[in-house]
A and B are shown apart, each in its own frame.
Chain A
Amino acid sequence: MLWNTILLALRELKRNVMRSILTILGIVIGVGAVITMVTIGGGATAQVKEQIASMGSNMLMVTPGKRIGPIQSSTNIVLFKVNDGEAILRDVSAIAAVAPVSSKSIQAVFGNQNWSTEVTGSDNHYFRVTNRLIRSGRQFSDSELRSGAAVCIVGETVRKKLFGGQESLGGNIRLEKLSCQVIGILEAKGQNTMGMDQDDIVVIPLRTYQRRISGNQDVAMFQVSVQQGASTDKAQRDIRLLMRERRHLSPSDDDNFNVMDMKEIVRILTGTTQLLTGLLSAVAAVSLLVGGIGIMNIMLVSVTERTREIGIRLAIGALESEVLMQFLVEAVVLSSFGGLIGIVLALTASVWLASMLRVPFVFNTGIVVIAFLFSTMVGVIFGYFPALKAARLDTIEALRHE
C-alpha cells in the first residue's frame, strides 16, 4: 500500500515537473548550504588539528610572566635559567624532552644576500620537541653546545633566500656580530595555523645565543615534550608545582609563569572554526525552513486544485487516513527529493570549494544523513496541514467542486 502511495505521489509530481522543481528549490538550497558549510568547516578544523599535531600535540610551553592576557605586567618578570629546564626533566615524571628556547629577530647575511629571520638559541632537544628533522648535515655536537660554538642549522626558507642554488652546508652566515657555519638544514614544514612560515628559522646553540646575541644567562621559555601516552594534564600540574617551589612562591601568590598546553591552543583554534561553521550552518538551516513553507504553500494549492479528485476518492471508499497519507507522502517525496539533489550539489560544491580554499575535503556522513532526515522531516511537518485539509474535506462538497 505504501509503495503504491509513493508511486502515485511520483506520478502526481511528474505531472507538474516545473512546479515540483520550483517547490523543492528552497530545500535544495538549504540542504546544499548546510552540508557545504559543515564539510568545509570540518575540513578547516581537521587542517588546524593536523597542523598542531605536526607541531607536537603532547607539547607544553613554560613561559615566564603571569598568564597571557591584557593584565600581564612586564615589570617583575622573573626569567628562567638553564637549570630550571634541567629540574623539569629530572623532577617531573613522564617527560620525554625539555628544550630551552630563546629567540630574536635578526638580519642574516650571506655574501650580498640578506634576510630577516628568527634566530633561536636551543639544543638538540629542540628538534625532537618541535617534531623537526634535519634533512641534510647534522645536529649540534656536545662540545659545540658546551663551548658555544659558532655553528647553525637553518630552515628551508632561510637557505633559499640566502644561498639560492648554491651549496649551503659549510657556508658562513653572519648574524649581527656573530659569523657562524651552516652545519645542517631542516626538513621543510610549511606554514603553521597562524600562517607563519615555520621554515623561516635559524637555530644556534643556546650557549652561543646567550654569549653572542642576548648577552645574559636567561632562557626565554621551555618547550617540554611529554612521553607518548602519558597525561599532559598531570605533567602540566607537576611542572607548575615544581616551578612554584623553585620560585619560592607562597600559597597566596599567583603564578609568575605560565604552563600552556598545546591541547588548549587546539581547543581555542578549532573552537573558533567550529563556532563559525555552526553560525553559518544555522543561517543555511533557515532556508530549509523557508523551503518547508514553500512546500506547504504548493501542497495547499494542490489540495484546492484536486478537490474533486479527493471527493471521488473519498466517495469510492478512501478513508480519511488514506487521503492524508497520500498527500503527506507526496510532500515527503518532494522534500526528500529536494534533499537528495541538495546533497549531490553540496558534495560537488564542497570538493570544488575545498580545492579553492586549500582545505582538505572531509566527507561527513553524519551531516549528510542528518540533512537528508531533516529534509524528510520538513516534508512531514509542512505537508501535514495541507494533507489534513484534504482528508477533512466534505465528500459531497468536494464532488460538486468545479
Chain B
Amino acid sequence: MIASNQMDNQPLIELQGVTKVYGTGHAAMHALRGIDLHIEEGDFVAVMGPSGSGKSTCMNILGCLDTQTAGTYKFKGIEVGKLTRNQRTRLRRFYLGFVFQGYNLLNRTSALENVELPLIYRGVPSGVRRVRAVQSLDMVGLKGWESHTPGELSGGQQQRVAIARAIVTEPAVLFADEPTGNLDTARSREIMDLLTGLNRDRGITIVMVTHERDMAAYAKRIVRFLDGLVESDEQNGRAT
C-alpha cells in the first residue's frame, strides 16, 4: 500500500543532480553534469540541444537503457539506479515505449509481427496480440499494410510502424529519439500530428528529442540542453 501511495503522489519522472561520466581519469568525458528535471503525467516534452549536449545520454537514462553515474532518477517514485538490469528491462517492458531515430524495425519481418513483438515479451496470448497489433497499426494509419515488411514500406510508413510498436503496449511514457530525423517536411508533420494526437487523446506522456525547432513547436514544453546541463526549460506558447 505504501508503495502504491508513493507511486500516486510522485511525479512520473524525477531527475535530481544526475551526472554521467564516460571513462575515467584524464580521459573522462562528462556527458551530464547535474540534471534536475521533473516530468508530470500527460506532458509532451521536446528535448533540444546541439550534438554532444547530453540530450541523448539523458534520454537513455530516462528510458532505463542506461544508468547515471551519480544523482537519483525516480520513475513513479522508484529509484531506477538501484534496479538490476533485469528489473530495468521489466520496467521498460511494462511502462515505456520507444521510437528510435533509425526506425529500428526487424528486417524481413512483417509490420504486424514487428508491432506484436513487445506484446510477446509481455506474455500476451497470440489471439489478443494480433487484435491489438492490428488496432495499433490502424491508429497510425497503416490499415491494410500489416503484411508488408520494412523493406516494402517508405520511411514515413516505417516510422509509423515503429510508433505503432511503441504504443501497442499502452505505455506510461513514449520516448522518441528524433522521430522525424530521416523524413521530409510533409512526412515529419504527419508523424508530429500523430504524436500530438496520442498525447492529447490517449494521455500518453511523450518525451521527444529533436534538432528541429519546427518539430519542437508541437510539444507543450521545451527543454534545452547545453554542455551536459539544462540550459532552459519553458512551456511552449504554441502548444496545441
Contacts and interface: CB of A to CB of B under 8 A. Distances in A.
A396 interface: yes
A313 interface: yes
A320 B118 contact: no
A1 B65 CA distance: 24
A318 B89 contact: yes
Given A312-B104, A317-B90, A399-B100, A4 B120 contact: yes
Q: How large is the interface on A (under 10, 10 to 19, 20 to 34, 35 or more residues)?
A: 20 to 34
B65 A395 contact: yes
Contact of B117 (A308, A316, A321, A399): A316
Which of B63, B86, B92, B105 has the most C-beta atoms of chain A within 10 angstroms of its own C-beta?
A: B92
Contact of A315 (B65, B86, B94, B105): B65
Contacts of B100: 315, 399
A317 B121 contact: yes
Interface in A377-402: 395-396, 399
A395 B63 CA distance: 11
A313 B117 contact: yes
Given A15-B108, A396-B65, A399-B104, A316 B86 contact: no
A322 interface: yes
Given A311-B104, A316-B118, A317-B118, 12 more contacts: A312-B104, A314-B89, A315-B100, A315-B104, A316-B98, A316-B117, A317-B121, A317-B122, A318-B89, A319-B86, A395-B65, A399-B104
A309 B89 contact: no
Contacts of A312: 104-106, 117
A392 to B, nearest CB: 10
Interface in A276-331: 308-309, 311-322
Contact of B123 (A1, A308, A309, A321): A1
A318 B85 contact: no
Interface of B: 60, 63, 65-66, 85-86, 89-90, 92-94, 98, 100, 104-108, 117-118, 120-123, 126, 165
A318 B123 CA distance: 11
A209 B181 CA distance: 110
Given A316-B117, A317-B121, A395-B65, A309 B106 contact: yes
7 contacts: A4-B120, A316-B117, A317-B89, A317-B92, A320-B85, A320-B86, A395-B65
A183 B108 CA distance: 86
A98 B86 CA distance: 81
Nearest to A402: B102
Nearest to A392: B85
Contact of B121 (A308, A309, A311, A318): A318
Nearest to A15: B108
Contacts of A399: 100, 104
Contacts of A313: 117, 121
- The 7 A-B residue pairs with the shortest CB-CB distance, nearest first, are A317-B93, A317-B121, A316-B118, A312-B104, A317-B92, A395-B65, A318-B121
B116 to A, nearest CB: 10
Contacts of A322: 121
A316 B66 CA distance: 14
Contacts of A308: 104
A313 B114 CA distance: 10
Contacts of B63: 315
Contacts of B98: 315-316
B203 to A, nearest CB: 21
Contacts of B107: 309
A199 to B, nearest CB: 70
A317 B91 CA distance: 8
A319 B85 CA distance: 9
Contact of B92 (A1, A15, A315): A315
Contacts of B121: 313, 316-319, 322
Contacts of A318: 89, 121
Interface string A2-18: 00100000000001000
Nearest to A312: B104
Contacts of B104: 308, 311-312, 315, 399
Contacts of B120: 4
A15 B100 CA distance: 25
Contact of A316 (B92, B108, B123, B126): B92
Nearest to B96: A317
Interface in A157-191: none
Contacts of A311: 104
Contacts of B65: 315, 395-396
Contacts of B165: 316
